[in-house]
Amino acid sequence: MPLPSYDAFDERDLGAQVLLSQFKLNTSGDAVTVRQAVARYMKEHGASALTVTRFATAVSEIARNAIVHAGGGEFSIYVDPGRKQLSVVCWDKGPGIEDIELALSDGYTSGGGLGRGLGGAKRLAKKFEIRTAVGGGTSVLMSVNL
């Protein structure tokens, strides 16, 4: 497997944040697992129901993207030491995205009619960053205030 030819998100981008869990993303069940894990952590840290639903929905979108469009990947959940912010990094080893602007705009589809995932996720997350390289995979970092 070729190394990604871009700087995927990792610990360095997360500053003081601590890794809570890591998951592999392969089957559709894994998307459920990660979004439920994120929801659980958020509730444990006192996030409101609306905050949880919004962010967990964003998580669901990007996890699905990795599984369906990119042949799988990895998902990590981080929290800052003050327990005020939760972040997730979703990394996939897929074909990468050629036109990020297009992918983030509503109505984007790439065959299979599964568009709007990323654009929706971006709207729902407080912080949303994406790095990608054609042929090298995609990495998404999202954060939410608890």
Partner 1 sequence: MPQSATANILTVLDTDFKGIIEEWLGRQVKEGVKRSDLFSDAESRNQNRELLKAFSKGVRDGVTGEDFDFDDNQWDDLRAVLADVSRERVNRGVTPTEMATFVLALKTPLFKRLESLQDVDQGVLIRDVMLVTRLVDAFAIYTNEIFIVEREQIIDRQRQEMLELSTPVVELWDRVLTLPLIGTLDSARAQEVMENLLQTILERQAEVVIMDITGVGTVDTQVAQHLLRAAAAVRLMGAECIISGISPMIAQTMVQLGIDVGTVSTRSSIRTALSDALLTVGYVIKKTEDQ
Partner 2 sequence: MAGVTSINLVEHALLVSIQDDITDTEILELQDRLSTKISENRIDGVILDISALEIVDTFVGRVIAQLAGISRLLAADTYVVGMRPTVAVTLVELGMYLPEIRTALSLTHALAQLRRV
CA distance 89 to 135: 19
If one asks whether residue 107 binds partner 1 (CB under 8 A), the answer comes out as no
- Long-range own/partner contacts, residues 108-111 (CB < 8 A, 24 or more apart): 110/69
Q: Is 85 in the site for partner 1 (CB under 8 A)?
A: yes
Site for partner 2 in 106-145 (CB under 8 A): 106, 113-114, 116-117, 120, 123-124
Query: CA 123, 30, 4, 22 torsion: positive or negative?
Result: positive
Residue whose structure tokens are 């299979």: 112
Distance between CA atoms of residues 43 and 101, nearest Å: 33
Q: Give the interface size with partner 1 as a residue count (CB under 8 A).
A: 8
Q: Output 21 or 133, the one with its CB closest to partner 2.
A: 21
Residue with tokens 């003081």: 16
Q: Does 56 bind partner 2 (CB under 8 A)?
A: yes
Report if residue 111 touches partner 1, rule: CB under 8 A.
no
Residue 79: CB partners within 8 Å, gap ≥ 6? Answer: 17, 18, 20, 41, 45, 85, 86, 87
Q: Is 135 in the site for partner 1 (CB under 8 A)?
A: no
Q: Indicate whether 66 belongs to the interface with partner 2 (CB under 8 A).
A: no
Name the site residues for partner 1 (rule: CB under 8 A).
15-16, 50, 81-82, 84-85, 145
Which stretches of the chain bind partner 2, using CB under 8 A?
A: 27-29, 31-32, 35-36, 39, 49-50, 52-54, 56-57, 60-61, 64, 68, 106, 113-114, 116-117, 120, 123-124
